Amino acid sequence: MSPSTSPQDLSRMRNEYTGELSEQGLAGTWLEQFATWFADAVEAGLPEPNAMLLATADGTGRPSARTVLLKGYDQRGFTFFTNYESRKGQDLAANPRASLVFPWYPLHRQVIVNGSVEKVSREETEEYFAVRPHGAQVGAWASPQSRVIGSRDELRARVAEIEARPGPLTAPPHWGGFRVSPDEVEFWQGRESRLHDRLRYTGGRVERLAP
């Protein structure tokens, strides 16, 4: 295989995007627009349409990012659940701001959210925990998320210990929800020649950003 056709030649890896997003076609609020695009992602059969990249930074500004799952959204913002003692939990305790990206690549779309973060109520956490599969409930108790462990066997032992407990499980005290309350929500639609449409809701208005 010649260098010009090698899959390692990243400079030649390119897809042309198609689509359009105009101010006239935009919903009145970011919430309505997100609901429409989220429904499109579900209808298109995208794998894990509620997967989102969550970026945080610690108290010194050191960033980290990972994929989490959206578990609710409304006019207050976007909700996900995690171990509060994990790296992201510790980041958000020190620096309660975050960025989200919904990477709906097959639709040539992204949604980018920036905002402040707060914990959801314990009631919301318990309500969500109650509908999680049993294995996921056990995992929330068994995994010391983001910490170094000696082996997979150590994790299995912790799982067995939790599974041996009598009665239904409730949410661990160190586990719960966060809500990202957006200051701005950008809707990104890919277009030809990299001249993308970028419309951002912020401060009660909509701005168009250069691609």
Residue 4 is predicted with a pLDDT of 54
Please state the pTM of the whole predicted model: 0.90
Residue 1 is predicted with a pLDDT of 39
What are residue 117's DSSP bridge partners? 180
Low-confidence ranges of the chain (pLDDT < 50): 1-3
Residue 167 is predicted with a pLDDT of 83
User: Active-site residue numbers?
Assistant: 194
Residue 147 is predicted with a pLDDT of 81
Residue 77: left if φ>0, alpha if ψ -120 to 50, beta else—which one? Answer: left
Residue 6 is predicted with a pLDDT of 67
In angstroms, the CA 172 to CA 34 distance is 31
DSSP labels, 158-205: HHHHHHTS-S-----TTEEEEEEEEEEEEEEE--GGG--EEEEEETTE
